[in-house]
Amino acid sequence: MKLKWWKILGIVLVLYSIIAGLLMPVPKLNILNETIRNLYFHVTMWFSMIVLMLMSLIQSIRYLSSFDKLRDLKAESLASTGMFIATLGLTTGMVWAQFTWGAFWVNDPKLNGAAVTMLIYLAYFILRNSIENEDTRARVSAIYNILAFVIMIVFIGILPRMTDSLHPGNGGNPGFGNYDLDSNMRMVFYPAVIGWILLGSWIAQLSYRIKVLEINKENN
């Protein structure tokens, strides 16, 4: 009944990021003011979402090479947890945008890209639920998952960098990496990213284990 070390590490890192993120000194910038601290909470959502989707992709590819049904279940759990985290990222981003850019939704390539990505992944779940046969469902959704991941990278990783974006690090804007993200912020930001990735994987793992329990119950 022992808790795995990485789950405890995830809790400790996120707790650290909450306390240090609110109290540590941050660069004093116009418009952003104290909201620069959202970097520790909003941006980490997207980082962990991308990592969860990557893990889901890996499980899908491994499903296609082994046809092991459990891998398909893992891919689904990871993708749905990633979607949940993306929803949190989108909502927090909207609040942040309202008070720094002046509107809940602005015509920014990164925002629209994130919206497209979420619709693509919504389609993944609709596709899953629309196929009755288990093997076909697993195979088709694994292939679709590969496509969805590629589209996600294009829409939130590549396209925003090719045009002007309000997000730092894209288009003509200077990135946080250049001078805004000073060493103090890195000390909180990177642990926060790792912590949220670990927490996200934990939640995904729980939902996977519950699914396995349900299947075992049906078979008995």
Partner 1 sequence: MKFIITLLFSLFCSTLTMAQDVEMADVMRSNGKIYVVVAIIAILFIGLMIYLIRIDKKVQKLEE
Q: Which residues bind partner 1 (CB under 8 A)?
A: 1, 3, 7, 11, 14-15, 18-19, 22-23, 202-203, 206, 209-210, 213
Q: Which CB atom, from 34 or from 182, has the smaller least distance to partner 1?
A: 34
Report, in Å, the least distance between residue 15 CB and partner 1: 6
> How is residue 60 written in tokens?
């899908």
Report, in Å, the least distance between residue 10 CB and partner 1: 9
CA-only gyration radius of the chain, Å: 19
Q: Which CB atom, from 18 or from 143, has the smaller least distance to partner 1?
A: 18
Q: Which CB atom, from 14 or from 114, has the smaller least distance to partner 1?
A: 14
CA-CA distances (angstroms) from residue 90 to 57, 94, 109? Answer: 22, 6, 14
The C-alpha atoms of residue 170 and residue 152 are separated, in whole angstroms, by 16
Report, in Å, the least distance between residue 18 CB and partner 1: 6
Residue 174 makes CB contacts below 8 A (sequence gap 6+) with 168, 180
Q: Which CB atom, from 20 or from 143, has the smaller least distance to partner 1?
A: 20
Report, in Å, the least distance between residue 77 CB and partner 1: 13
In 67-121, beta strands by DSSP E: none
Q: Which CB atom, from 20 or from 140, has the smaller least distance to partner 1?
A: 20
Q: Whose CA is closest to 142, among 57, 52, 50, 49?
A: 57
The C-alpha atoms of residue 37 and residue 180 are separated, in whole angstroms, by 12
Report, in Å, the least distance between residue 56 CB and partner 1: 20
In the chain, beta strands by DSSP E: none
The phi-psi region of residue 8 (left if phi > 0; otherwise alpha if psi is between -120 and 50; otherwise beta) is alpha
